[in-house]
Structure 1
């Protein structure tokens, strides 16, 4: 167990009030730094940084996961969600290093039973703390990617066409999809896991919509290669049963990704079935807008995260729990507007700056809780899930979508 003095060092935002009703869901979002934060360069594309042994960073990250999970549990949380890339690290070099130290995921059919596997460690923490854990995401090595049949539609053929190799490169450039070769064992994927308080893996999801800079290193998941349930069941200590889903970061910008979580129900005339809560581990920085975006609005990415989270909550008539990564402040302790951008400034010159804004949104309630800055924090938010039935009866989005199917 974590030392009580360590728990006191965790910045807790929000609280849980009184005894929860049977229908109350208590959520905790751990907005924390990625495991490679100490070795990160000041600019995002300095790929030589962070190539030193990162075992210490991973070990410290696991210790932090334990600390935040136990702190959240001591506050009464049912589920704690960690951010994208928390355990693996958020740099390209950290992802590439996975190839050097990790066996393909297929080599571990039951990872929660392998004491040396990181998932077994998280499962043990979940059992010890008596709390469900969305373990952020990790970059995994796997040879099980199958390209979608439509990937090849961008290719050209016939006399005078480019070679197959250059055509494949063009497809990858346009779509961000890596085509399968004879040796695809070095492909890297970004996956989130949901682990119950009993230490069981309830679900996993591999990111399908990659942010543009990720595509040079990672491959997107696809239902044929990375099947995952749209919905899975969770149950709190108080016996509250809910349907949950997971998506990751840039999925948040894709309405279709959330629409796919809705599916026909058993009732022919009823609404679509869908999640009660969607967990979205995220790695989103204030400077992701690039030079062009920052010239227009230095706080633009915060506005994007807030608006997308609320929009997805209404569209799916569900709770959206978006946990973002923590990050550094603007250089020299200044605010966003103190950083000079001129005509010669390039995207690679921009610092990595945290935006935070981890949040819980719900229909009717709007923003239930939010971390306003990019620093580390544990956000607590509770929702009476009875509101979901009222929202679905009022907005009837799932009914309208069922009629359109």
Structure 2
């Protein structure tokens, strides 16, 4: 039996001017995860700071320091012998653009994969550059097998998952910054918890329809400010394995029996069908 222990860290980032404090709490959680025997630690999207409009514009300048934080996570992964997905980082590049990027760092400190968010949430679009059609979704080899990275609103696009599993991804990791208030006034009037229903349904559906493990790590924060939490992990057959029921900061270590994926594929044959040259939906081979 192949079992991976995944530490899901629902971090609650403080004000934008507290990036170093947020980083230190993230480091502390990763150390705790390694001590507990976790193979992988996952943080949320924008875990160092919220880049939403209305916050201090000076936060953009601090995005120039992203490489320093990434290097710290690489060194920590090697020191603690644990793989790390440090949520996502807002990266300010030389041309003045900011991208929303996620990394998979293995237990030797090596970067095994990088992904720039394609499907930007609407408030991001004025100041974050999408990778759009510049590159494909790419699955990559890790000590935990073939892995794919997506970010937050990508969860709403089945096509992204399909592209990854067609390359053999068995685990898809989704750092997120997702709140109940994302439904807007109209959605909240219909159902104040609609975004929670959205996340719960999508995470489980993506696991079943792709015979893969889905690790969704959301940001935490005060519930009165619309934070949802709801970090969770799902697999086919068994559905949701673990879920944060509050928006409080914390960490949970979840054991994933990866043999379930082979059993599910044996029955559903999703990957087998997608690999057929004349597959009738015409996904890229």
> What does residue range 56-205 of structure 1 map to in structure 2 within 5 Å?
57-92=18-53, 96-97=57-58, 99-101=60-62, 103=64, 117-142=68-93, 185-205=95-115
Separation (CA, whole Å) in 2 of partners of 1:96 and 1:252: 28
Q: Which runs of 4+ in 1 moved over 4 A?
A: 93-96, 101-105
Q: CA deviation at 1:101?
A: 4.3
For the pair 1:208 / 2:118, whether they are aligned, the reply is yes
1:12 corresponding residue in structure 2: none
Deviations along 1:26-61, whole A, 9 cap, x unmatched?
111100112xx2x3xxxxxxxxxx5xxx2xx12112
Pick aligned residue for 1:373 from 232, 243, 246: 246
Q: Is the 8 A contact 1:285 1:327 kept in 2?
A: no
Separation (CA, whole Å) in 1 of partners of 2:56 and 2:129: 12
Separation (CA, whole Å) in 1 of partners of 2:219 and 2:63: 24
Higher Rg: 1
For the pair 1:231 / 2:139, whether they are aligned, the reply is yes
For the pair 1:291 / 2:242, whether they are aligned, the reply is no
SS at match of 2:237: coil
Residue 192 to residue 288, structure 1, CA distance change in 2 (3 Å)? same
Residue 210 to residue 357, structure 1, CA distance change in 2 (3 Å)? same
SS at match of 2:172: strand
Q: Is the 8 A contact 1:354 1:375 kept in 2?
A: no
Uncovered stretches (5+) of structure 2, i.e. residues with no partner: none
SS at match of 2:165: coil
Pick aligned residue for 1:278 from 163, 172, 197: 172
Task: Compute the TM-score of the two structures, normalised by the length of structure 1.
Answer: 0.65
1:323 corresponding residue in structure 2: 217
Residue 255 to residue 206, structure 1, CA distance change in 2 (3 Å)? same
2:275 corresponding residue in structure 1: 402
Separation (CA, whole Å) in 2 of partners of 1:379 and 1:123: 22
Separation (CA, whole Å) in 1 of partners of 2:63 and 2:125: 20
For the pair 1:392 / 2:242, whether they are aligned, the reply is no
Q: CA deviation at 1:315?
A: 2.0
Separation (CA, whole Å) in 1 of partners of 2:64 and 2:178: 28
Uncovered stretches (5+) of structure 1, i.e. residues with no partner: 1-20, 40-49, 106-110, 112-116, 144-184, 236-240, 264-272, 331-351
SS at match of 1:190: strand
Equivalent residue pairs, number: 278
Q: CA deviation at 1:275?
A: 0.8
Q: CA deviation at 1:222?
A: 3.3
Pick aligned residue for 2:153 from 250, 272, 292: 250
CA RMSD of aligned residues (A): 2.0
Q: CA deviation at 1:229?
A: 6.2
